[in-house]
Structure 1
Amino acid sequence: MSPKPWLKIAIEENREPLLPIPGDRFALIDPHPYSALGANYAERSPFWLRASVLGRLLRAQAQLTLLKPGYRLQIFDAYRPLSVQQFMVDYTRQQLLADQGLTEEDVDPSTLGVVNEQVYTFWAVPNEDPKQPPPHSTGAAVDLTIVDASGQLLDMGSPIDEPSDRSYPDYFLGRSPVAHQNRDLLNQVMTAAGFVRHPNEWWHFSFGDQLWAWRVQVPAAMFGRYALLDLA
């Protein structure tokens, strides 16, 4: 498993607090998909972001409204404690093995290695090293899609979190014009607000974390793992 190149970026924490994503401005998924599976967020909510990240998300929504009146960004997931990251990595691995009729107890090392490679293509390692935090644990990353004026999800070609090639942002270029155009609309409004998109995930955007710093070529990220801070 190759380490992500952005994990080499330094972090210069600016100590911004987490703030709640306002439910009257965005579509929030309820119940939250990971909580429904049993993930424990404890005293935190998955619908929180760093203050400046939330400000940029509001700008993205305003841009979407200009382009498509009545459309809203639907927030799938934002802040994620390290324990939830671990829970979802384990859950995804178990599901991929179950699809092959296997469990971790009876799988051979080579097969497990292939499955882990697939898992970590789409999930950050739940690393406790403060120099290599998962993006969502920083409060600087958000997973999202778009709903139209009637509240219906736009066709993005594949669901959020699908661990397959269909998740790559440009997968549907030349395959499905509608899905590609909808993904491009999401990318357009998010990048206009200063976010960068994950290279493997059409739904994942961030501002201020290591991935963002790597994509915009600045020497340091602004946000590290939030749990390490005394900001509550």
Structure 2
Amino acid sequence: MKPYQNVPIIESSEPLVDIPTEFAFFQPHMYSLLGAPYADKSPFSLRSGVLQRLIKAQAYLQLQCPNWKIKIFDAYRPIAVQKFMVEHERSQLAKAKSWDLNQLSSQQEQELIAEVLNFWAIPSEDPATPPPHSTGAAIDITLVDHNQTAVNMGSPIDEISPRSIPDYFAAIDTPAAQQAHANRELLFACMHQAGFERHPNEWWHFSYGDQLWAWLRSQNNTLAKNTENSAINAMYGRYE
């Protein structure tokens, strides 16, 4: 278990709703293109309360950078999709290491799983420990400028490497690295002022109301009330 999975969950009963077209989107959706089993569910959806905060984040962004937009890579993820993607990443990582998935040693298997789960949540079916994306509370995003051109973030979304750590470029003294760090900080500022928390290992992953959010808020000593230590994971189960 990860530390945040000990946080108790309170059902909010918020509906899962589509993210509106005022945002930019990665099209086609990358996981759907791989064959991830979404069935009739949309990966571009969030809990209604989370969406309202995302709208607030984009409004703040556009005050700083007129006509820039938040670009949505991925949002809601059924448990079946989480399982599919964890296995896909395991397979891709083994391929990158030139390892045969059918002939892995126990040490190699442990290494693969450790690397994948450093960035991907365990696809748990236990209602007490859901993956953040499966609660409608988490979203993977980047920024595009006024020309709808991708902003330099230094590394792509979902890259399993140290470059994904939010502050990776902070101490690298080159113009490109400093620009990437500044852009990551802008994204963080927009999301944080709207109430989101950022994944410690992923510059692109933000959430509001899930267990990771509650744990990070508690770690940062920013919760005003003890009751807010509980995650608000709306729609877990109903949308699986």
- Other-structure match for 2:20: 22
**Matches of 2:155 and 2:232, distance apart in 1:** 31
Match of 1:228 among 214, 228, 237: 237
- On the 8 A contact 1:49/1:139 being kept in 2, the answer is yes
TM-score by length of 2: 0.92
- Other-structure match for 2:221: none
**Matches of 1:180 and 1:100, distance apart in 2:** 29
- Other-structure match for 1:198: 199
- Other-structure match for 1:141: 138
**Matches of 2:196 and 2:50, distance apart in 1:** 9
The percentage of counterpart residues that share the same residue type is 50
CA distances 1:18-56 after superposition (whole Å, capped 9, x unpaired) = 010001x10011100000111121111000000000000
SS in 2 for 1:129: coil
Query: Displacement, 1:70?
Result: 1.1
Say whether 1:219 aligns with 2:195: no
SS in 1 for 2:102: coil
- On the 8 A contact 1:196/1:212 being kept in 2, the answer is yes
- Other-structure match for 1:129: 126
- On the 8 A contact 1:12/1:223 being kept in 2, the answer is yes
Query: Displacement, 1:219?
Result: 2.2
Q: How does 1:24-63 map to 2 (within 5 A)?
A: 25-63=22-60
Match of 2:102 among 100, 105, 112: 105
**Matches of 1:206 and 1:103, distance apart in 2:** 35
**Matches of 1:82 and 1:198, distance apart in 2:** 19
- On the 8 A contact 1:125/1:134 being kept in 2, the answer is yes
- Other-structure match for 1:70: 67
SS in 2 for 1:146: strand
**Matches of 1:178 and 1:4, distance apart in 2:** 32
Say whether 1:7 aligns with 2:17: no
SS in 2 for 1:205: strand
**Matches of 1:27 and 1:85, distance apart in 2:** 23
Letter in 2 for 1:228: G
Which blocks of at least 5 consecutive residues in structure 2 are unaligned?
A: 219-227
- On the 8 A contact 1:81/1:227 being kept in 2, the answer is no
**Matches of 2:118 and 2:92, distance apart in 1:** 15
Query: Displacement, 1:227?
Result: 4.6
- Other-structure match for 2:170: 173
CA distances 1:174-231 after superposition (whole Å, capped 9, x unpaired) = 121011000000000000100000011000000000011111223200115x3513x7
TM-score by length of 1: 0.95
Letter in 2 for 1:145: T
**Matches of 1:213 and 1:125, distance apart in 2:** 18
- Other-structure match for 2:222: none
**Matches of 1:162 and 1:222, distance apart in 2:** 28
Letter in 2 for 1:201: E
- On the 8 A contact 2:127/2:236 being kept in 1, the answer is no
Misfit runs of 4+, over 3 Å: none
